[in-house]
Amino acid sequence: MKSILATAFPFTALIVATLAAKSPNFILAMADDQGWGEMGYQGHKDLKTPHFDDMAKSGLRFDRFYAAAPVCSPTRASCLTGRHPNRVGVFKWGYPMRTGEITIAEALKKAGYATGHFGKWHLGSVRADSAACPGANGFDEWASAPNFYENDPLFSHNGKVIEVKGESSLATMEIALRWIRKMAEEDQPFLAVIWFGNPHGPHIGVDEFLAPYAKQPKGLQNFYAEITGMDAAMGVLRKELRELKIHEDTALWYTSDNGGLKPNSMGGLSGKKGNLLEGGIRVPAILEWPARIPKPRTTAIPCNTSDFYPTLLELAGADLPKDQPPLDGISLVSLIDDKAKTREKAMGFWDFKAPGRSRRARAMLEALRKEQQAGEQKPALKEGHVERQYPLNSFPGPAAWLDGDWKLLVTKGPPKLFNLAKDMTEKNDLADQHPEKVAAMQKALLAWQRSVVHSLNGKDYK
């Protein structure tokens, strides 16, 4: 018996070591304008989201997950960099990241990962020669739109314009799965960033997903159909991961870029997309990962889209880059492993006062396609550079500081203080009752904002 164990043990140890050393796959999926309450599992009385509901029943559900900003592009920048978007110059929709930023795609590539981006980019140009395009930000494979898009979308596939037929979310998922299948066949660990164009307006549902909402008002029919379309796309993805036999080792993370706009979007929260009340920044989030999260759980620990970057790097066993600029996010590995009780680092929010940059994705891609068909593609514009210096004593725009259950909100007039554990609708301002807490939180917020402006002025790139 002793000799059998001695012989078998090295083989067993090798299997265990091999499994432990296997790098997990990462999929970051994101909706465009889906509110915190727009999920069946949140008790929405009309929406049909069976696949999201099943994910929530089988994985880790985050009930206090925050977008780094109340609008789209800034939150997307935070997902890729682990930094507040103002640090990287992405104030509002349509802004590119600074060229000196390090993205999660770039960092994971150095750790041996293949990287792909599919769907909405909205962080600058999708021309292949642009310093702002996905390819210049660490993505090996990309089929990306410069803004939100609808059915039969156009994408820039590694720089060449293509059209993918079908419902918006399903079309996005199909082109992502073409690449994921290839990675699975090659046993290649990967990062897939899948950013849907829905349910951003204008809302155009297809018959299959409109059917359950025939009795709803016309506007809501199409809106709900787009969310159910995203749900169906996530169902296709989950089924494919199982068929490819990689679902156990794939961390599938879903969230939204900001709060919603429609009635009943926020699940009773105050505010909506575009402001720093809970309804503007608290978003749905689910992590499904059978190998790491074998039992379903729900957490009320505050988390942020800026946490993706440090979390994925730690899960991949990769160190932060030596030239890593300051992070706002933290690793959530202890939370994923059910060892965290609280969040140790406060969150800063700052909706910098600046105009957005709006251009329709289809018009931009049709123009690029014409250039390519004529063989006369124009060079991309230069973008993503430090263009000016910002003062260190002026912080325009609303801001908030979230520390545990306490939230300080600074807009016009005196700052407001809320205890979110007792008042998630932010109706009871406690500032007058806790002046010392207000002063301490305001001091921390201002110090953080100064740090952000230093980054904005290019200090981190020197």
- Closest among 299, 284, 270, 312 to 400, alpha carbons compared: 270
pLDDT given at position 21: 55
Question: Within the chain, which residue ranges are assigned CATH 3.40.720.10?
Answer: 22-350
Residues in the chain, overall count: 462
Burial of 295 (0-12, 13-18, 19+ CB in 10 A): exposed
Give the phi and the psi of residue 141 in degrees, each rounded to 5.
-125, 135
- Closest among 116, 154, 152 to 137, alpha carbons compared: 116
Q: What is the CA radius of gyration of the chain?
A: 22
pLDDT given at position 11: 39
List the 347-350 sheet strands across, edge first: 347-350, 399-403, 406-410, 416-419
Under 8 Å between Cβ of 93 and 71: yes
Under 8 Å between Cβ of 120 and 145: yes
How far is residue 12 CA from its own chain's centroid?
39
CA distance 365 to 97: 20
End-to-end CA distance of the chain: 64
Please give the CATH topology (third level) of the domain spanning 399-461.
Arylsulfatase, C-terminal domain (3.30.1120)
Question: Within the chain, which residue ranges are assigned CATH 3.30.1120.10?
Answer: 399-461
Take residue 176 and report the two structure tokens written for it: 């992502």
- Residue-by-residue pLDDT tens, the chain, 462 positions: 333 333 333 433 333 333 345 799 999 999 999 999 999 999 999 999 999 999 999 999 999 999 999 999 999 999 999 999 999 999 999 999 999 999 999 999 999 999 999 999 999 999 999 999 999 999 999 999 999 999 999 999 999 999 999 999 999 999 999 999 999 999 999 999 999 999 999 999 999 999 999 999 988 999 999 999 999 999 999 999 999 999 999 999 999 999 999 877 889 999 999 999 999 999 999 999 999 999 999 999 999 999 999 999 999 999 999 999 999 999 999 999 999 999 999 999 999 999 888 889 999 999 999 999 999 999 999 999 998 999 999 999 999 999 999 999 999 999 999 999 999 999 999 999 999 999 999 999 999 999 999 999 999 997
| Omega before 199 within 30 of 0, i.e. cis | yes
Its CATH architecture, for the domain 22-350, is: 3-Layer(aba) Sandwich (3.40)
Helix (H), strand (E), coil (C) string for the chain: CHHHHHHHHHHHHHHHHHHHHCCCEEEEEEECCCCCCCCHHHCCCCCCCHHHHHHHHHCEEEEEEECCCCCHHHHHHHHHHCCCHHHHCCCCCCCCCCCCCCCHHHHHHHCCCEEEEEEECCCCCCCCCCCCCHHHHCCCEEEEECCCCCCCCEEEECCEEEECCCCHHHHHHHHHHHHHHHHHHCCCCEEEEEECCCCCCCCCCCHHHHHHHCCCCHHHHHHHHHHHHHHHHHHHHHHHHHHCCCCCCEEEEEEECCCCCCCCCCCCCCCCCCCCCHHHHEEEEEEECCCCCCCCEEECCCEEHHHHHHHHHHHCCCCCCCCCCCCCCCCCHHHHCCCCCCCCCCEEEECCCCCCCCCCHHHHHHHHHHHHHHCCCCCCCCCCCCCCCCCCCCCCCCEEEEECCEEEEECCCCCEEEECCCCCCCCCCCHHHCHHHHHHHHHHHHHHHHHHHHHHCCHHHC
